[in-house]
C-alpha cells in the first residue's frame, strides 16, 4: 500500500513537471475533482467569490486528493487544491522517516479546513456490509485519488480480501454497477453528491452500505446521511467521513515575480473566503454551512501568505469592488480565535 502510494506521488509529479515546462503566463488555478463531485462545486463557489473581486480563478478537474496535493507542490499556476484529511494524515505519518515523502510535502501548507466528506459505498442490495464485499468486484477509485487511498485503507483495516479491486473513478463505476459489471464502488464526497442524483439507481436493487465497524470508528469521524438526501435513500444511514482541506504552497515573495504574484493570490483569496463565509453558506454548496475554519488537521502548518490575508487591515487587490457580507470589525473576535489556534501549531 505504502509503496504504491509513493509510486503515485512520483508519477503525478513527473507528469506535472513535463506538462508545465513551458508555462509562462501567470494564472490562478484551483485543483478540485471530477465533474460530478463536491470538490468541483466548492471550487466554483470560490471562483465566483474571486469574480466579485475581478480576479479569475480557473477551476481544474482532477482525479482527486493526491493529484491535487502534488499539483499544489509541483504544478505551475496552481495555488490551491482540495485534499482529504486521511491523505494528509497518511503523508504526515511517513514523513519523518521517508525522504520521498519529505520531498513530496515540502512547502505544502494548509489554507483552511473545510467540511466532512462522507464515505459512500453503493452496492448491490444483497451485499449487507463492508465485510460482505469480500470476493466481489469493487471499484476503489483512480490511483491518484483520495477515494483510492480511503477505500484501500478501509478494506485493509477490515481485512476484506479476495475478489477484484478496479481502479475506476466513480463516474466510470456507476454505469458498470447499474449494468451488473461490478458489485459495488467507493466514492468519498460531501453529501449531497450530484453523482447519486441519477434516477437509474433503483432502491430495490442498490443501496448505500452502513459503515459502523468499530475499527473504522477509531480512525474516521462517525457521520450520517439523512433520508431523502438521495431519491433511493428512504431512511437515514450511518457511515464515516473524512475532513476536506484547502491546501496551498508557502510562496517566497523574495524569490521572483511569480512567487510574489502567487502569494498575493493566496492572501487575497484567504481574505475573501474568511470575510464571505455567510455568502458562501447562503449561495454555495450546502457543505459550506458546516465549514469550521478552526478545525485544523494536526501536524500541518498554515501558510505565511494565508496568515497575511487574515490580517484585520488586509485589503485584497480587486479590479472591481469585492462584495462582502461581514466587516472586519464583525470578524475581529473570530479572527483572533483563528489566529490563536494557528499559533498553537
pLDDT band at 21 (very low <50, low <70, confident <90, very high): very low
Predicted confidence (pLDDT) at residue 8 exceeds the cutoff of 60: no
Among the listed residues 337, 177, 317, 213, the one whose alpha carbon sits nearest the alpha carbon of residue 260 = 317
Report which of residues 105 and 269 the model is more confident about: 269
Stated pTM of the model: 0.84
What share of the chain has pLDDT > 90, as a percent? 68
d(CA 318, CA 154): 45
List the one residue out of 261, 339, 267, 250 whose CA is nearest residue 309.
267
Q: 293: closest CA among 311, 275, 279?
A: 275
Given a contact cutoff of 8 angstroms between Cβ atoms, the answer to whether 245 and 42 are in contact is: no
Pairing of strands 29-31, 184-189: unpaired
| pLDDT at 11 > cutoff 70 | no
Q: Verify cis geometry, omega within 30 degrees of 0, for the bond prior to 192.
A: yes
Q: What is the CATH number of domain 2-114+247-343?
A: 3.40.190.10
Residue 22 is predicted with a pLDDT of 45
Mean pLDDT over residues 182-187, rounded?
Answer: 98
**CA–CA gap between residue 91 and residue 299 (Å, rounded):** 10
* CA–CA separation, 23 and 302 (whole Å): 27
Residue 45: count of CB within 10 angstroms of its CB: 19
Q: Which pLDDT score is estimated for 124? A: 98
Is the pLDDT assigned to residue 77 strictly greater than 60? Answer: yes
Residue-wise pLDDT for 48-66, tens only, equals 999 999 999 999 999 889 8
Residues above pLDDT 70, as percent of the chain:
87
Q: Residue 302's pLDDT band (boundaries 50, 70, 90)?
A: very high
pLDDT above 50: residue 19: no
Q: What is the mean pLDDT of residues 177-189?
A: 97
Using the predicted structure, report yes or no on whether residue 6 has a pLDDT greater than 80: no
Residue 229 DSSP label: S
Which pLDDT value is given to residue 254?
94
Q: Calculate the average pLDDT of the chain.
A: 88
Look at 82-91, 177-186, 323-332 and tell me which has the smallest mean pLDDT. Answer: 323-332
User: With the C-alpha atoms ordered 176, 178, 180, 182, is the resulting torsion angle positive or negative?
Assistant: positive
pLDDT band at 1 (very low <50, low <70, confident <90, very high): low
- Picking from 73, 61, 55, the residue whose alpha carbon sits closest to that of residue 31 is 61
Q: Residue 344's pLDDT is what?
A: 60
Looking at residues 31-56, what average pLDDT do you find? 95
CA dihedral 26, 32, 38, 43 (to 10 degrees): -10
Task: Give me the phi and psi of 189, to 5 degrees please.
Answer: -160, 145
Name the DSSP letter for residue 22: T
> 246 falls in which pLDDT band (50, 70, 90)?
very high
Q: Which residue has the higher pLDDT, 338 or 96?
A: 96
What would the mean pLDDT of 98-107 be, rounded to a whole number? 85
Tell me whether domains 2-114+247-343 and 117-243 share a fold.
yes
- CA separation for the pair 106, 147 (Å, rounded): 23
d(CA 241, CA 220): 6
pLDDT tens digits for range 191-214: 999 999 888 999 999 999 999 999
Sequence-distant (6+) residues with CB within 8 A of 151 are 138, 140, 141, 165, 186, 188
Those residues whose C-beta lies under 8 Å from the C-beta of residue 5, and which sit 6 or more positions away, are: 66, 90, 149
Query: CA 141, CA 189: separation in Å to the nearest integer?
Result: 12
pLDDT for res 68 = 93
Stated as kind and residue range, the H or E segment containing 121 is strand 108-124
Query: What interhelical angle do 85-95 and 65-74 show, nearest 10?
Result: 60
Spans of all domains in the chain: 2-114+247-343, 117-243
- Architecture of domain 117-243 in this structure: 3-Layer(aba) Sandwich (3.40)
Q: What pLDDT was estimated at residue 342?
A: 65
Q: pLDDT value at position 198?
A: 83
pLDDT of residue 225: 97
128: three-class secondary structure by DSSP: coil
Amino acid at each position: 500500500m505504502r509503496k504504491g502510494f509513493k509510486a503515485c506521488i512520483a508519477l503525478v509529479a513527473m507528469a506535472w513537471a513535463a506538462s508545465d515546462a513551458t508555462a509562462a503566463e501567470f494564472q490562478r488555478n484551483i485543483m478540485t475533482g471530477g465533474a460530478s463531485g463536491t470538490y468541483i462545486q466548492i471550487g466554483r463557489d470560490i471562483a465566483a467569490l474571486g469574480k466579485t473581486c475581478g480576479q479569475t480563478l480557473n477551476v481544474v478537474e482532477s482525479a482527486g486528493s493526491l493529484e491535487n496535493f502534488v499539483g499544489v507542490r509541483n504544478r505551475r499556476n496552481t495555488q490551491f487544491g482540495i485534499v482529504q484529511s486521511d491523505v494528509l494524515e497518511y503523508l504526515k505519518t511517513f514523513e519523518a522517516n521517508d525522504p520521498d515523502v519529505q520531498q513530496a510535502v515540502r512547502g505544502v501548507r494548509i489554507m483552511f479546513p473545510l467540511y466532512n466528506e462522507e464515505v459512500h459505498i453503493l452496492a448491490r442490495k444483497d451485499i449487507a456490509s463492508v465485510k460482505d464485499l469480500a470476493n466481489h468486484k469493487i471499484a476503489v477509485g483512480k490511483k491518484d485519488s483520495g477515494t483510492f487511498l480511503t477505500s484501500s485503507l478501509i478494506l485493509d483495516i477490515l481485512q476484506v480480501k479476495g475478489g477484484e479491486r478496479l481502479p475506476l473513478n466513480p463516474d466510470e463505476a456507476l454505469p458498470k454497477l447499474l449494468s451488473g459489471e461490478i458489485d459495488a464502488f467507493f466514492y468519498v464526497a460531501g453529501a449531497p453528491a450530484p453523482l447519486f442524483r441519477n434516477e437509474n439507481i433503483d432502491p430495490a436493487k442498490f443501496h448505500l452500505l452502513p459503515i459502523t465497524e468499530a475499527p473504522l470508528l477509531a480512525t474516521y469521524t462517525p457521520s450520517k446521511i439523512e433520508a431523502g438526501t438521495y431519491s433511493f435513500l428512504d431512511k437515514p444511514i450511518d457511515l464515516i467521513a473524512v475532513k476536506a482541506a484547502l491546501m496551498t504552497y508557502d510562496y517566497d515573495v523574495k524569490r521572483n515575480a511569480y512567487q510574489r504574484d502567487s502569494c498575493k493570490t493566496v492572501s487575497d483569496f484567504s481574505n475573501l473566503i474568511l470575510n464571505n463565509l455567510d455568502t458562501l453558506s447562503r449561495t454555495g454548496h450546502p457543505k459550506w454551512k458546516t465549514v469550521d475554519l478552526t478545525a485544523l488537521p494536526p501536524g500541518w502548518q498554515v501558510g505565511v501568505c494565508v496568515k497575511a490575508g487574515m490580517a484585520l487591515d488586509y485589503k485584497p487587490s480587486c479590479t472591481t469592488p469585492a462584495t462582502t457580507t461581514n466587516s472586519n470589525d464583525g470578524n475581529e473576535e473570530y479572527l483572533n480565535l483563528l489566529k490563536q489556534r494557528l499559533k498553537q501549531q
